[in-house]
Amino acid sequence: MDADTTKGVYAAHERLVAPARLRPEIWRLLAGLGLIAVVVFALNAGVLAVAGSLGSELWLRNFLAGATPVAMLILLASFAFVTLGVTLAARQLQRRSLQTIVGPYHLALTQFWHVLRGLLLLGAVLLVLPPYDMGAPMQPNLSVTVWLAVLPFSLLAVLIQTSAEEILFRGYLQQSLAARFRSPVIWMGLPSILFAMGHYVPSEAGDNALLIALWSGVFGLLMADLTARAGTLGPAIALHLFNNIVALLFVALPNSLDGLALFLIPYEMSDTTNLRVWLGVDFVLMLIAWLVARLALRR
């Protein structure tokens, strides 16, 4: 799509871009990203300092890997630092409030619920369809009792994490670029590339790292599309939340942020034989979820 074609399709995006267009200079965006990085680094350093003082080096490694429920809750909740950084950057450099980034709160919440409700229905349908494993039996991780006991906190923590990523990538970054550049290739593409780079982890994923990053980049593009169509971050947050609830709370990869999961996938992220098959399946499911979200927005 060129810029003229997207005017009609993405007309609602103007609601989010207009406040940023008042101060569209690229130096403001770059300075804002620098401020966000400082805030996130400083506050996370404080969390790590406290965590390091509470246990051994092994305990700290397990904490950073999210190997326990408490560790995962803290790691996910720490994404609130990203939201704080964006709020400060937008206020200081663009004279914008967080609401101008998220969109009108009532509308964002309404769209969030419509999309999430559709995705929950999709999840229920997928749950009863075969296959019932991922090539091998799922490995139990947390007991059902413990999992249910921490579930309310887990859901809140995942919401904090997913909303923070959307506020940064599809909010502050996408809107700031759209205020300066007309082409969606730039304001949709660049944040998605950066989002993909953040998910490129060859130390954990091995030869699957590039495919996982590619999956993340496409996911970012789909979230950018939903945001531009809706004029709020509500739908993107809902789909991101649904995705991460499944990936972090129900069935997680072993040895990788698995402290809150009920089950573990029966192979690791670097397994090229099994994981690549399911990456293809997951890619199709991602597209289906995006279409469900698109349909929900027509209500």
pLDDT string in tens for the chain (299-residue length): 555 556 688 999 999 999 999 999 999 999 999 999 999 999 999 999 998 888 788 888 888 889 899 999 999 999 999 999 999 999 999 999 999 999 999 999 999 999 999 999 999 998 887 766 666 678 899 999 999 999 999 999 999 999 999 999 999 999 999 999 999 999 999 999 999 999 999 988 898 999 999 999 999 999 999 999 999 999 999 999 999 999 999 999 888 899 999 999 888 888 888 888 888 888 999 999 999 999 999 87
From residue 68, alpha-carbon distances to 74, 132, 263 in Å are 10, 26, 13
Query: What is the predicted pLDDT for the residue at 285?
Result: 92
Say how far apart CA 25 and CA 180 lie, in whole Å: 7
Query: What is the predicted pLDDT for the residue at 250?
Result: 93
Query: What is the predicted pLDDT for the residue at 218?
Result: 96
Query: What is the predicted pLDDT for the residue at 134?
Result: 65
Count of structural domains within the chain: 1
Structural domain of residue 108, as residue ranges? 3-296
Q: Which two tokens stand for residue 261?
A: 């999961």
The pTM for the full model equals 0.94
Pairing type for strands 263-264 and 139-140 reads antiparallel
Query: What is the predicted pLDDT for the residue at 135?
Result: 65
Query: What is the predicted pLDDT for the residue at 128?
Result: 81
CB proximity list for 38: less than 8 A, separation 6 or greater: 85
